């Protein structure tokens, strides 16, 4: 299992760290100054805690790798990386169409479990929204700045519903959408789509029948409509460039996947990544750093949540000498 999931473990560790945040003792903190070494003094063991916990979790369930990547993207794309996607209750992002039934509860729970470990070791100095860089082995590593605070409320529905889906948007529409978040290079769209190199799709989302591969998927789904399809049919449990190799063989699962190899703007990039894993890793690193810097409309204001799923201001959150540790076990 370890050899098959080496890249997935490495990337998922880094991506999970993209879901953790900054020191500020007050319930509502002023915007801190972001820096790569933000947690060096307040929680020097942060990276080792997260790495160990994620590696152990992925050894039990490799599918968590895809779940962690999806959570990061779905949190950051609407209005910046602020952990708003974790909030439950009224107007929760999790209930909006792009997120409904698409975020793994066990991946959400893993983040909350690790938050509890980090707070136990360092106190409430790290939030869910931070974006540290974790040196990894066997996968791309990156060093974005730290210091993001957790939002007090979910992102508005109109922003959440701008999350790109598996449907019929044209490549140019997707490029424009990514550009509105500061990712203006077509390679950003192609590289971040490479997150599909791990994970599965439910049958209702696979693309319509227009070739032998899509007809095969349809036949499988007719046998089990609740079944799932690997998004990367070449190396489904390894974070590598197998997704792009599959696209060059017309084996993309989503309509949006196949659009990348059929469009003259993105097709050359797909072929480059299919031929050169290092080129994919390099571009993925640059693009995910851009994703981590999607501007927050109100600036970096918020808090360090004691519960993953609700603000510290919630009357349901009981003040104790430690902090109430309900998290997703109680809310999902």
- Catalytic residues, by residue number, are 74
CA quadruple 159, 161, 162, 164: dihedral sign: positive
325 is in an annotated binding site: no
Q: Which residues, in sequence order, are bridge partners of residue 303?
A: 150
Q: Name the nearest CA neighbour of 155 among 115, 95, 109, 108.
A: 95
Contact 88, 94 (CB under 8 A): yes
197 is in an annotated binding site: yes
Report the alpha-carbon distance of residue 61 to residue 313 in Å, rounded. Answer: 34
Contact 67, 104 (CB under 8 A): yes
**Residue 124: phi, psi to the nearest 5?**
-80, 65
Q: HSE, CB side, 13 Å, CA atoms: give it for residue 230.
A: 16
Q: How far are the Cα atoms of 72, 105, 225, 310 from residue 100, in angstroms, in the given order?
A: 15, 11, 18, 18
Q: How far are the Cα atoms of 55, 69, 195, 247, 307 from residue 286, in angstroms, in the given order?
A: 24, 15, 14, 22, 31
303 is in an annotated binding site: no
80 is in an annotated binding site: yes
- For the chain, state the CA radius of gyration: 19
164 is in an annotated binding site: yes
257 is in an annotated binding site: no
143 is in an annotated binding site: no
Q: How far are the Cα atoms of 39, 129, 135, 139, 211 from residue 143, in angstroms, in the given order?
A: 13, 15, 8, 13, 41
Binding positions for Ca(2+): 75, 80, 82, 84, 93, 197, 232, 235, 240
Binding positions: 75, 80, 82, 84, 93, 164, 196-197, 232, 235, 240
Binding positions for heme b: 196
Binding positions for substrate: 164
């Amino acid at each position: 299992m370890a050899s098959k999931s080496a890249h997935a473990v490495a990337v998922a560790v880094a991506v999970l760290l993209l879901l953790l945040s900054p020191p500020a003792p007050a319930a509502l903190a002023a915007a801190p100054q972001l820096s790569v070494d933000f947690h060096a003094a307040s929680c020097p063991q942060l990276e080792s805690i997260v790495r160990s916990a994620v590696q152990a979790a992925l050894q039990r369930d490799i599918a968590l790798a895809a779940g962690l990547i999806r959570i990061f993207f779905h949190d950051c794309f609407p209005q910046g990386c602020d952990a708003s996607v974790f909030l439950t209750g009224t107007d929760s992002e999790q209930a909006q169409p792009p997120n409904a039934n698409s975020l793994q509860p066990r991946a959400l729970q893993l983040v909350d479990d690790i938050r509890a470990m980090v707070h136990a070791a360092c106190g409430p100095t790290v939030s869910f929204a931070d974006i540290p860089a974790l040196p990894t082995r066997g996968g791309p590593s990156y060093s974005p700045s730290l210091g993001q605070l957790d939002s007090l409320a979910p992102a508005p529905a109109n922003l959440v519903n701008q999350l790109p889906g598996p449907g019929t948007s044209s490549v140019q529409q997707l490029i424009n959408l990514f550009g509105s978040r500061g990712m203006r290079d077509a390679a950003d769209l192609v590289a971040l789509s490479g997150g599909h190199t791990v994970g599965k799709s439910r049958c209702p989302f696979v693309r319509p029948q227009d070739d032998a591969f899509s007809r095969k998927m349809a036949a499988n789904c007719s046998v089990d409509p609740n079944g799932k399809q690997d998004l990367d049919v070449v190396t489904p449990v390894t974070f590598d460039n197998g997704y792009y190799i599959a696209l060059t063989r017309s084996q993309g699962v989503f309509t949006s996947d196949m659009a990348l190899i059929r469009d003259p703007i993105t097709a050359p990039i797909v072929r480059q990544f299919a031929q050169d894993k290092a080129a994919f890793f390099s571009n993925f690193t640059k693009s995910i750093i851009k994703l981590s810097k999607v501007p927050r409309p109100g600036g970096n204001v918020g808090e360090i949540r004691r519960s993953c799923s609700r603000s510290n201001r919630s009357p349901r959150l009981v003040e104790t000498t430690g902090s109430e540790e309900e998290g997703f076990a109680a809310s999902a």
